[in-house]
């Protein structure tokens, strides 16, 4: 779990180097050794706490369109502002 977008970007760059681009979805990736990782913000679980809420559903829809997690876009979707 990462605290900032910079941290997500750092680990994403390092772990995807030589990995399988087809395996990149919803923050998941495969590294060059074939190991799977999910690089996510530390607050992500709180966005989906009430899975039936409109805010959680918006956040889930946004996340499903992402390869690497974009914290700003995820929060905007959750808050209904983007």
Segment-wise mean pLDDT, segments of 10 residues, the chain, 82 residues: 97 98 97 98 93 95 97 96 82
Q: How many domains are contained in the chain?
A: 1
The reported pLDDT for the residue numbered 12 is 98
- Closest among 37, 39, 28 to 64, alpha carbons compared: 28
Q: What is the CATH number of the domain that holds 73?
A: 3.10.180.10
Q: Rounded distance, CA 12 to CA 76, Å?
A: 21
The reported pLDDT for the residue numbered 80 is 95
Number of C-alpha atoms within 13 angstroms, CB side, residue 69?
28
- Closest among 18, 50, 13 to 31, alpha carbons compared: 18
Boundaries of domain holding 59: 5-79
Q: Rounded distance, CA 2 to CA 5, Å?
A: 8
């Amino acid at each position: 779990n990462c605290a900032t977008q910079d941290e997500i970007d750092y680990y994403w760059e390092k772990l995807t180097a030589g990995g399988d681009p087809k395996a990149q979805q919803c923050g998941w990736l495969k590294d060059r050794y074939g190991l799977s990782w999910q690089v996510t913000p530390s607050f992500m679980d709180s966005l989906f706490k009430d899975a039936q809420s409109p805010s959680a559903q918006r956040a889930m829809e946004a996340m499903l369109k992402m390869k690497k997690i974009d914290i700003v876009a995820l929060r905007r979707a959750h808050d209904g502002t983007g």
